[in-house]
Structure formats: C-alpha cells, structure tokens
C-alpha cells in the first residue's frame, strides 16, 4: 500500500516536472548553410569554377569561414537572452555547421533572434579568444588587431582568361594612412529575424547567399578588387554595405 | 537486534576493504606538463587522448624507445636517427636514410608543440590521425625501419629492463605495438619549444632589433609578405595553422600530398603547414627538402611561385611569380624568422639513453 502511494506520488511529481519544463525550455537547432543565388554550396564542390558574379566574372570558392557573434534572443518583455558569444563557421568543418542550444525560456516569450556579423568593437579585442587564436583568425596589429569577420578565398577568371586568386576578407574597416593614428569605421552589422514559435523546438537555418557579397549596393569587380582588401579602407566599407543583404534566417518550430 | 547484525557486517566489510588498500598496486604517476605562459594565455588546452594520459613512467619509457635502434630491422636506425634533438628533431638531409641506406620519401618533420595540433592530423600529408598512429608507421615502412611489430615486441620483451618499464608505465608486462606507440606519443607530446628570442620579446624580456621589427611587419602585412594567414601571428605562438595548403612549389606534382590521403583531386599538392619555430636548425625546408636555406624559401614566395589548379588563393600574386619583396624586406623577414628559433630546444633530451 505504502509502495503504491509512493509510486503515485513520484509519477505525479515527474508529470509536473515534465509539464513545467515544456513551458520554460526551448531547444534551438542552428544550421549554418551557404548558397549562391538559391543554389546550395557544398564543401565537396569547392575548387570548381561554377559560380558567376553579377559583374559576369566566373569564380571558385575554395575557403569560406565567417564569424557570427552576440547571438541572442529578444523576449517580449524586453530582455535579451544570450545564446552564444560567437560562432566561427567553416564550410569545410562539418561540426561548425550545426549547433544545438537550450534556453530556459518559454517559446511563447521569444520575439526574435538577433546576431552580429563579425564582432562589435568592445568584443573585438586583440588576442583575447584562445579558440580563435588557435585557428589563426587574428587581424594584424598594424590594422588594429582583433579578429577577422570573414575569409572568402578562391580564384576568378580574369580578363586574360587566366585564373587569378581573390581574398575577400572582411575585418573592422581601418584607414591606416597614418599608421600612428588609425581611423576605424564600424563594419560589423546586425542580422535579426522575428520568431513566432508554436513548439519548444526551433530549427533556425541561417543562410549566407555568397553571391550577394558582390552585388548590392556595390557591384563588385574582382578584376579591380581581389586581393589585399584587409588594409583597403574603402573596400571594407563596401564589403560591409553589401553584407546587409547576404544573410537570411528561416525559422521552423516543431 | 537485526540492525545490530547489519551494522557489524558493514563494519566487517569496511575493515576488509581497508586491509586490502596497502596492497593495491600503485598506478603510474601523472606527468605534470609545464605549459609555457604564452601558450596558456593565448591558446586552448593541448590535446591528450583519454586512453593515453601522460605519466612520468610513460614519458620516460617513450624517450628510451625514441632513441632505441632495436626498433629497426638491422638495429641501426632509431626514431632519433632522422629526428635529431640538435636539429629540432628533424634531419639535415632532404630525405632521411632508412635501413640499408635507403632514401625515404619526404623530409623528416621537426617534432615540437605537437600536443597543440588540434585537428590531430600528422605527417606532411595528414595521413596519421593521432600521434600514436604516426609512431606506428615508420617501424614497418620498408624504407625506414623495415621491421615488423612482432619482431620489435619480441626483442623488447627479451630485454632485461623493458618488461619492468612497461609494467610501471602501463601496468602490463606483455609488450606490443599499442603500448610502444603510446609511450612514444607520450614522450613526443612533452617536446615543447617556447623559449625563442621572439617569445622573450612577447613576454617583455627583450627588444627586437630594427631589422627584426621590419621583418615582423613584412610578415604581417597583407601587401608585402602576408605570411600570417598560414603561419600564425603573435597571438598564435605555434606559428602554424596546422592546415593543408598548396604553396606553389610545382605545376605538376611528383607527390600529391593530402590528395593521396583524401582521394580528392582538389587536395593534390597540399601539405601541412610546418611551424616557423626553430628554422635555424631544421633545414632543409619543404616536404621534399628542396630548399637548403631560408633565403631560398623567401625567394620562392617572392618570385618563384608556380601556378597549378590547386594552388592556395593565399598565394595571391602567383601570376606575378610571388609577392615581389625588396632585398631589404627579404633580409629583414629572415632576421625575424631567425628570432623564432629556440637555441636551447632539444638540449639534454636523450642524454644517457642508448
């Protein structure tokens, strides 16, 4: 009799816990995908001359790494809940393309997800992230230090018909005309997506349309701007401007 | 009454356990790896496999094995024959000589800071997926030690000392390839180089010369040397990304490197980036040891790049032959590179062992 009563009590307790957890926990599955004008880019097709930018230049994508930071939720009561301080996506490293995160927030309270491309200035301090140092993600101190926002490398067919390298690297824009007095301009930007969750599991697909880096608002000609873009102040500002139309986020709750 | 019996039984059980404790065989002593302050500050923790933790006994055994020529078929070649301590554990020869004077296939890579190779891919082509696996191959390679593991294990088993040493390190007296490679890997993980003049500069203990300062600037300048994208920077004291690149050595490849391991033609001609530490003692350079001097290496990146389908886009001026450094920048870059060499690295290692 005592045993049966105890079992019933335990069962009730477990049910209460389960119900409570369902209401206050949301699980996120972040998928980082890359595409070219709607066609997925897969890592096994790198090195092929298979893309063409808006300027008509044919190109390969051989390396693509980019950093998203301050990934957080915006709640209906105005608070912000951090999900991840930063995440480095490497198209050649499968483990970087998916991340599962859990928050103690009820799905109904979530209004939006927000993140930054690159680092904001306060968090972009030189050498402070050992895991990013370990993968040589740093920016030279002569350019202000800190970290890359993106490394997009490949080759394009130039006017002579030869393949020529390009290094489309994004960093905090810096004018180093006077090396003793560097002038910076913010080149990180925010990516935001409203969320209307109906269940406690949310699949978030964050897609980078790589073709957009070369289009809007600045039509990009690799023929004239392909390499040594890190110390190129104007190029960095144009990269940041073009980046605003690069990302899209699809939300699915289930 | 019944509770009293249970209590007595419990006390008896605990007493029995206690009696056995002094007879418990002591395991090996955990090895305390001294991690350089720069590494501790700048990098994530080194990689130690859970099934092969560092122990005092394992590291000492690994060192003894590293210098033991009985690992080779003819008893003339040890690991140290091609990975010489005084050469930063590399070889002076372009390709090392194995048993019967046979030439090997690639330049012997130096050995240091390997516990910080986070992707755990070793050798020039990344074929070995752990240090233990790396240690496995040379023993049986016909052009290296030319032996077989059964023979090696039997030789060591018959030795007066080794069975005891293996028991102390791994708790077993039966010697086989698994425990031999584990011991070798443990020893190799303790080889740390972090006392170069440039390290002392980063620690505020010395200044750079004006030439070294300019050399560092050349190294870090995307418009000049642009070496940092593959070879690290002040915040990555490994001075390698441990990744694989085709650095423009050839248009047609005699050795396809990583491509032979992955089977992907896009990887043909790619080799692991070597660290720039200890270059003053690890000549000759590149996977085939084709360059005898640092001047030749710098000239290669400045004017000698050769195009190919898989050349890394970071070799951005391949169509102009290279980054076209001035003679002054070349000399200063070399002065900086020399400051990454640790004059004391390797000293005292292997002394007293056969």
Interchain CB distance below 8 Å, A228 and B316: yes
Distance from CA of A164 to the nearest CA of B (A): 7
The residues near A202 (Cβ < 8 Å, ≥ 6 apart) are A26, A27, A28, A29, A107, A110, A195, A251, A252, A253
How many whole angstroms separate alpha carbon B253 and alpha carbon B107? 16
* CB spacing of B315 vs A164 below 8 angstroms: no
pLDDT above 70 covers a percentage of chain B that reads 92
Chain B residues touching A134 at Cβ < 8 A: 43-44, 116, 118, 236, 238
Cα end-to-end distance, chain A, whole Å: 41
User: How far is it, in rounded angstroms, from Cα B352 to Cα B354?
Assistant: 7
Residue B52 near residue B120, CB atoms below 8 Å: no
Query: What gap in Å lies between CA B239 and CA B255, rounded to an integer?
Result: 25
| Domains with residue ranges and CATH for chain B | 37-189 (1.10.760.10), 197-338 (1.10.760.10)
Q: Closest residue of A to B232, CA-based?
A: A136
Is some CB atom of chain B closer than 8 A to the CB atom of A46?
Answer: yes
In the block, which residue shows the tokens 């190109």?
Answer: A59
Query: pLDDT for B308-317, tens place per residue?
Result: 999 999 999 9
* B303, two tokens: 């004017």
CA distance B117 to chain A (A): 9
Residues of A numbered 213-232 whose beta carbons fall under 8 angstroms of chain B's beta carbons: which are they?
A: 226-228, 230-231
B136 Cβ contact list (under 8 Å, min separation 6) = B128, B177, B181
Task: Identify the pLDDT of residue A44.
Answer: 75
Beta bridge partners of A175: A183
Q: Assign B64 a pLDDT band (cuts: 50, 70, 90).
A: very high
Disruptive mutation site among B36, B121, B215, B235 for chain A (greatest number of A CBs within 10 Å) = B235
Task: Give the minimum alpha-carbon distance from A163 to chain B in angstroms, rounded to a whole number.
Answer: 9
Cβ pair A247, A207 in contact under 8 A = yes
Is the Cβ–Cβ distance between B53 and B30 less than 8 Å?
A: yes
Dihedral pair phi/psi, residue A156, rounded to 5°: -130, 160
User: Which of A118-127, A133-142, B24-33, B189-198 is the least confident region?
Assistant: B24-33
Q: Identify all chain B residues contacting A163, using CB atoms and an 8 Å cutoff.
A: 307
DSSP structure class, residue B273: P
Contact B316 A63 (CB under 8 A): no
Residue B215, min C-alpha distance to chain A (Å)? 13
Per-residue pLDDT tens, chain A, 254 aa: give them. Answer: 454 554 545 444 444 444 455 568 899 999 999 999 999 998 777 888 889 999 999 999 999 999 999 999 999 999 999 999 999 999 999 999 999 999 999 999 999 999 999 999 999 999 999 999 999 999 999 999 999 999 999 999 999 999 999 999 999 999 999 999 999 999 999 999 999 888 889 999 999 999 999 999 999 999 999 999 999 999 999 999 999 999 999 999 88
Best CA proximity match to B294, nearest among B262, B331, B342: B331
Q: Which DSSP symbol is given to A85?
A: E
Q: How far is B95 from chain A (nearest CA, A)?
A: 30
Tell me: ipTM over 0.95.
Answer: no
Predicted confidence at residue A4, as pLDDT, reads: 53
Task: Tell me whether residues B309 and A47 touch, CB distance under 8 A.
Answer: yes
Q: Are strands A247-253 and A201-209 parallel, antiparallel or unpaired?
A: antiparallel
**Residue among B37, B221, B222, B248 with most chain A CBs within 10 A, to mutate:** B222
CB A141 within 8 A of CB B213: no
Per CB-CB distance under 8 Å, the chain B contacts of A162 are: 319
Residue B129, class by beta-carbon neighbours within 10 Å (0-12 exposed, 13-18 middle, 19+ buried)?
middle
Do the chains contact at B43 and A136, CB–CB below 8 Å? Answer: no
Question: Considering CB atoms only, which of A130, A228, A230 is closest to B44?
Answer: A130
pLDDT at A198: 83
| Burial track B22-38 (b if 16+ CB lie within 10 A, e otherwise) | eeeeeebeebeeebbeb
Q: How far is B40 from chain A (nearest CA, A)?
A: 9
User: Which of B217, B226, B315 is closest, CB to CB, to A142?
Assistant: B217
- Look at B316 and A140 and tell me if their CB atoms are within 8 Å: no
Identify the bridge partners of residue A117 per DSSP, sorted by sequence position: A68, A189
Cβ of A94 under 8 Å from any chain B Cβ?
no
Question: How high is the pLDDT of residue B10?
Answer: 44
Closest chain A residue by Cα to residue B223: A228
- Could you give phi then psi for residue B257, rounded to 5 degrees? 60, -125
Helix/strand/coil for B208: coil
Nearest C-alpha in B relative to A61:
B313
A contacts of B223 (beta carbons < 8 Å)? 228, 231
For residues B195 and B176, what is the distance between their CA atoms, to the nearest angstrom?
36
Does residue B106 contact residue B285 with C-beta atoms inside 8 Å? no
Q: Residue range B36-40: average pLDDT?
A: 97
Cβ(B146)–Cβ(B76) below 8 Å: no
Q: What angle do the packed helices B294-303 and B327-338 form, to 10 degrees?
A: 130
Cβ contact, residue pair A130, B314, below 8 Å: no
Residue B18 vs residues B11, B12, B14, B21, B129: alpha-carbon distances, Å: 10, 10, 6, 5, 44
Q: Do B221 and A140 touch (CB under 8 A)?
A: yes
Measure Cα distances from A199 to A18, A107, A254, B201 in Å: 14, 7, 5, 56
Half-sphere exposure of B143 (CA within 13 A, CB side): 8
Name the interface residues of B facing A (CB cutoff 8 Å).
41-44, 116, 118, 217, 220-223, 226, 228-236, 238, 241, 264, 266, 307, 309-319
**Which chain B residues are within 8 Å of A142, Cβ to Cβ?**
217, 220-221
What is the SS3 assignment for B276? coil
DSSP B57-74: HHHHHHHHHHT-GGGSTT
Query: What residue spans of B175-251 are helical by DSSP H?
Result: 177-189, 197-202, 210-220, 228-231
pLDDT band per the 50, 70, 90 thresholds, residue B87: very high
Residue among A67, A119, A179, A149 nearest B220 (CA):
A179
Residues 6+ apart with CB under 8 A from A179: A142
Mutate to test the interface with B, among A140, A152, A166, A179 (most CBs of B within 10 A): A140
**Between B233, B241, B264, which is nearest A140 by CB?**
B233
């Amino acid at each position: 009799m005592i045993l049966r009563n105890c079992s019933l009590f335990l069962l009730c307790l477990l049910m209460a816990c389960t119900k409570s957890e369902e209401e206050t926990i949301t699980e996120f599955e972040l998928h980082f995908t890359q595409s070219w004008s709607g066609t997925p880019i897969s890592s096994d097709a790198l090195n092929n001359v298979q893309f063409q930018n808006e300027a008509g230049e044919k190109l390969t994508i051989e390396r693509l790494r980019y950093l998203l930071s301050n990934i957080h939720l915006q709640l209906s009561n105005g608070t912000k809940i951090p999900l991840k301080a930063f995440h480095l996506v490497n198209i050649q490293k499968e483990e970087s393309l998916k991340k599962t995160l859990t928050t103690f927030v009820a799905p109904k309270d979530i209004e939006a997800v927000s993140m930054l491309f690159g680092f904001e200035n306060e968090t972009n301090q030189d050498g402070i992230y050992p895991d990013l140092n370990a993968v040589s993600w740093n920016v030279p101190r002569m350019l202000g230090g800190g970290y890359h926002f993106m490394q997009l490398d490949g080759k394009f067919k130039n006017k002579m018909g030869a393949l020529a390298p390009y290094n489309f690297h994004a960093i905090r824009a810096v004018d180093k005309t006077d090396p003793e007095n560097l002038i910076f301009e913010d080149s990180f930007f925010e990516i935001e997506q409203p969320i209307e969750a109906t269940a406690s599991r949310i699949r978030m697909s964050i897609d980078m349309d790589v073709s957009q880096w070369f289009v809007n608002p600045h039509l990009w000609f690799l023929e004239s701007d392909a390499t040594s873009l890190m110390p190129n102040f104007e190029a960095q500002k144009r990269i940041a401007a073009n980046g605003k139309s690069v990302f899209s986020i699809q939300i699915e709750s289930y | 009454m019944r509770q009293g019996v249970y209590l007595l039984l419990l006390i008896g059980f605990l007493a029995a356990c206690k009696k056995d404790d002094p007879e418990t065989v002591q395991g090996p002593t955990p090895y305390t790896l001294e991690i350089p302050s720069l590494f501790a500050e700048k990098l994530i923790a080194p990689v130690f496999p859970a099934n092969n933790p560092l122990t005092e006994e394992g590291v000492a055994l690994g060192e003894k094995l590293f210098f033991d020529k009985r690992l080779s078929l003819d008893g003339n070649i040890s690991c140290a024959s091609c990975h010489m301590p005084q050469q930063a554990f590399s070889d002076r020869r372009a390709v090392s000589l194995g048993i019967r004077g046979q030439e090997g296939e690639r330049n012997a890579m130096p050995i240091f800071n390997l516990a910080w190779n986070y992707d755990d891919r070793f050798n020039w082509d990344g074929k070995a997926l752990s240090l233990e696996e790396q240690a496995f191959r040379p023993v049986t390679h016909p052009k290296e030690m030319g032996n077989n593991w059964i023979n090696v294990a039997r030789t060591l088993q018959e030795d007066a000392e080794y069975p005891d040493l293996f028991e102390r390190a791994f708790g077993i007296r039966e010697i086989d390839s698994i425990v031999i490679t584990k011991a070798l890997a443990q020893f190799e993980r303790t080889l740390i180089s972090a006392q170069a003049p440039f390290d002392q500069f980063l620690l505020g203990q010395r200044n750079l010369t004006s030439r070294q300062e300019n050399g560092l600037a050349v190294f870090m300048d995307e418009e000049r040397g642009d070496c940092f994208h593959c070879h690290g920077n002040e915040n990555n004291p490994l001075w390698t990304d441990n990744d694989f690149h085709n650095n423009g050595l050839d248009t047609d490849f005699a050795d396809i490197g990583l491509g032979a391991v992955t089977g992907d033609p896009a990887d043909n001609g790619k080799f692991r980036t070597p660290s720039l530490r200890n270059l003053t003692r690890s000549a000759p350079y590149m996977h085939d040891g084709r360059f005898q001097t640092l001047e030749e290496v710098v000239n290669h990146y400045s004017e000698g790049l050769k195009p190919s389908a898989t050349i890394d886009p970071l070799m951005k001026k391949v169509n102009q032959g290279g980054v076209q450094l001035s003679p002054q920048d070349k000399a200063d870059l070399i002065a900086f590179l020399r400051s990454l060499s640790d004059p004391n690295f390797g000293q005292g290692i292997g002394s007293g062992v056969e």
